[in-house]
Amino acid sequence: MADASSAPESREDRTHLHVRLSDGRSSIYDLITEYLQEAGKAPDWYWRTAGRLEGSEAENLEELLSSAFEAGAFIAHEHPEDLKFDWLTEEQCERERRTEERSDQREDARKERSSMSHYA
């Protein structure tokens, strides 16, 4: 017989991981570019391909996802001070998203995303 402490978590209680840059002035694009250069990969090709990716271009998608995964491991190893890890519930995540949409961070995020466009 299961006791109350072993009851499965409800959907509202489950958390998921958010990985963020600890400094709002840092750029994920710069860190990924650093990884690509260290790995001997072509950052220009990567960013141009990411900027043009539409539909299911399987041959490029696999390389992009693989490189992105490798870049995440590189950043976590080489720049752990630049990352923060938050475990959030769906409710916390939604509340944070709404707050971000209403704040100036939304504009900053838009600018950061558009900084990638010079590679396209």
Band the pLDDT of 118: cuts 50, 70, 90: very low
- pLDDT over threshold 80, residue 5: no
Residue keyed to tokens 């959907």: 11
Cβ 29 vs Cβ 115: under 8 Å: yes
- pLDDT over threshold 80, residue 104: no
Other Cβ atoms less than 10 A from the Cβ of 30: the count is 11
What pLDDT shows up at residue 1? 47
Tell me if the pTM is above 0.85. Answer: no
What pLDDT shows up at residue 2? 47
Tens digits of per-residue pLDDT, 15-35?
988 888 888 788 888 888 899
The contacts of residue 68 (CB under 8 Å, 6+ apart) are: 32
- pLDDT over threshold 70, residue 119: no
What pLDDT shows up at residue 37? 92
Residue keyed to tokens 């109350």: 4
**Chain-wide mean pLDDT for the chain?**
76
Report the alpha-carbon distance of residue 60 to residue 54 in Å, rounded. 10
- pLDDT over threshold 80, residue 78: yes
